[in-house]
């Protein structure tokens, strides 16, 4: 891993359940970890267009590679997402890069709002 390529700031958000005074449960995204990453494949061949409800929408995918640490090792695809340049990305897959504990690669898909 080349440290000079870790040039983009990303924020990992964790899904937590908040209970109010009445007992209602709501989901909330809290900031979990901020670090620098290498972004790959955004807007290239991994992205495609698809038709949803009669309109054509872009399905943007990208990869995020970060250094390995205890906080990034705990990230799963179900309870976390990534904030990058004001856009939210769901984590589709976590690649541990042969379990060498040097880097992690997250495959992401842009969240449609």
Instruction: Check which CATH number belongs to the domain holding 33 and give it.
Output: 2.40.10.270
At 61 the pLDDT is: 85
Nearest to 10 by CA among 41, 40, 43, 34: 34
At 113 the pLDDT is: 72
Question: If you search the block for the tokens 């979990």, which residue do you land on?
Answer: 32
The rounded Cα 23 to chain-centroid distance in angstroms is 30
Under the banding of pLDDT at 50, 70 and 90, the label for residue 17 is very high
Q: Domain limits at 29?
A: 3-110
Residue % of the chain over a pLDDT of 70:
85
Contacts of 2 (CB under 8 A, 6+ apart): none
Write down the H helix ranges in the chain.
70-73
The model's pLDDT over 44-73, given as tens digits with 9 standing for 90+, comes to 545 566 666 666 666 778 899 999 999 999
Q: Model-level pTM?
A: 0.83
**Average of per-residue pLDDT across 10-15:** 96
Number of structural domains found in the chain: 1
**Average of per-residue pLDDT across 20-28:** 92
At 4 the pLDDT is: 84
Burial class (CB in 10 A: 0-12, 13-18, 19+), 10: buried
């Amino acid at each position: 891993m080349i440290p000079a390529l870790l040039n983009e700031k990303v924020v990992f958000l964790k899904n937590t359940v908040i209970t109010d005074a009445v007992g209602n449960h709501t989901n909330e995204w809290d900031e979990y970890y901020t670090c620098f990453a290498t972004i790959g494949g955004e807007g290239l061949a991994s992205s495609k267009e698809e038709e949803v409800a009669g309109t054509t929408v872009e399905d943007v995918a990208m990869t995020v590679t970060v250094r390995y640490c205890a906080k990034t090792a705990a990230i799963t695809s179900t309870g976390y997402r990534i904030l990058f340049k004001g856009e939210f990305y769901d984590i589709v897959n976590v690649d541990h890069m042969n379990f060498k504990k040097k880097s992690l690669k997250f495959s992401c898909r842009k969240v449609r709002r």
